[in-house]
Amino acid sequence: MVIFTGISLLQRPSSRSKHQNQTTVFTTTEPGYRPTRALRRRQRRRLIIAKFGGSSLSNGKKVSLAAESVAREYSKGNRLVVVVSAVGRTTDELLELTNHGAGIVETDRDDILAMGERTSARIFAASLKSRGIQARYFDPSDRDWPIITDHDFSNANPLRTSSIQRIRRYVKPVVEDGIIPVIGGFIGRTRDGRISTLGRGGSDTTALLLATALGADEVVLVTSAPGILTGDPFLIRNAHVLRSIDMKALIGIADSGTKFIHRKALRYKDPAISIRVIPSASGRLDAQGTQITGGPLPELEVKIHNPDPVASITLVGRDLPQNPELIRKVTRIIRTNLVAISQDSDSAILYLSQAPSLRGQISRLHDVVAKDPHGLALAARMGMALITVKGVGLEETPGVVARISDALRSSDINIFGVLTITSSVLILVDWKVRKQAGKLIRDSLENN
């Protein structure tokens, strides 16, 4: 007999029932009966992956609030998996300590840094148990630890297939038994049993990987912010919460350095699983925040940006980009076929698709520049291809441009321009060699 003193167990469907994984069946003798959408929603037990950031667990009161939010969803009959970051600034403090330790090897540093998440998982699981909820924390020392990574210590990448197989083998049965798994999200383990860390924001990666493996209904990212904002509140006074944002737009914001979801994690986003970013202060997992829609960008995409050749039109003069009247006139001329633009203090390069109207546009651009007091001349280069290289976090990968340029140089292919923006690199080459260039670029990045 087990006696709980001063604790009232939360009511939910029994995890021991032989029907535990089946939808509750409502019967009626009325012919043609069909349950309403709201009723069908209530009949189904949702699976939620709840990830709590370090700022959401920075003291006892916040840990209690977070545990209470999980308990509330649990009492509704929903299934949950909890992913936790290290409490407060624990990881930063451990990192500072190890950085000052002479000769500490990466494997030992990861073992030390993992202590933050390992402790956080124990605390959260204990907090749930104190509320009469069955919970079990997973630890990388356990035989059934689910997240397996490569050997890139301090910035490890989960081995997707191995991790998904282990999540389904070891985590799924725990969930189906009505127990809440609590997993430290920043940590992994290599195939040979050494503890690794996933780098900054790795808890997001673990949460999305768990969601994909378990077929979760939703991932809820609990943060200190009210959601994803229209701007940095430290820079913009009237920034407000976006109620919804698409993945493509999200990538651009993430690349600006905004810290609400880790870029590396975005590659694990399943289009069928929604993500919601909510404030920890609400104390509820069903709180309003920002809904993230859409699927992930490809790991690597190399393609010809447009089906027609591209021309680069260089406008030269004094302080041209600071001349709003000139820019307005130029924009009016090129708005239908502008592909990209770059500029410095005394010139602007317009990349235009070679539409039938291009020659007329060039003539009009020349007149605008020649008649402007600060304008000087116009130059045009025709017959180029704009190759787009895309990938999540591409700009954080050292040596990407060098690999591309080395691959093209080795085959005597000249580069006429390089542009970078939001996890994309744009390369201008001769139109005639575009297919060869595209293959060389892809090979250079896939083989590294």
Q: What percentage of the chain exceeds 70 in pLDDT?
A: 84
Distance set, CA 133 to CA 11, 41, 43 (Å): 10, 24, 22
> Residue for token digits 């996890």?
423
Checking if the pLDDT of 436 tops 60, the result is yes
Mean pLDDT of 253-266: 63
Band the pLDDT of 172: cuts 50, 70, 90: very high
Checking if the pLDDT of 410 tops 60, the result is yes
Q: Which of 35-44, 146-155, 239-248, 349-358 bottoms out in mean pLDDT, i.e. has the lowest?
A: 35-44
pLDDT for position 100: 64
Q: How far apart are CA 57 and CA 51, in angstroms?
A: 11
Query: How far does Cα 305 stand from its chain's mean position?
Result: 24
pLDDT for position 298: 67
Band the pLDDT of 20: cuts 50, 70, 90: very low
Q: What percentage of the chain exceeds 90 in pLDDT?
A: 55
Checking if the pLDDT of 80 tops 90, the result is yes
pLDDT for position 396: 63
Which of 84, 12, 117, 56 has its CA nearest to residue 284? 56
Distance set, CA 320 to CA 362, 375, 417 (Å): 17, 7, 20
Residue 205 contacts residue 160 (beta carbons within 8 Å): no
Q: Which of 25-39, 72-86, 137-151, 261-275 bottoms out in mean pLDDT, i.e. has the lowest?
A: 25-39
Mean pLDDT of 109-133: 95
Please give the model's pTM, rounded to 2 decimal places. 0.75
The rounded mean pLDDT for the chain is 85
Band the pLDDT of 349: cuts 50, 70, 90: very high
Question: Domains in the chain, start-ordered, CATH in brackets?
Answer: 43-293 (3.40.1160.10), 301-446 (3.30.2130.10)
Q: How far apart are CA 37 and CA 410, in angstroms?
A: 61
Angle made by CA atoms 19, 24, 29, in degrees to the nearest 5: 125
Q: Which of 38-42, 123-127, 171-175, 279-283 bottoms out in mean pLDDT, i.e. has the lowest?
A: 38-42
pLDDT in tens, 87-109: 988 888 888 888 766 678 889 99
Checking if the pLDDT of 239 tops 60, the result is yes
Mean pLDDT of 316-334: 89
pLDDT for position 303: 87
pLDDT for position 15: 34
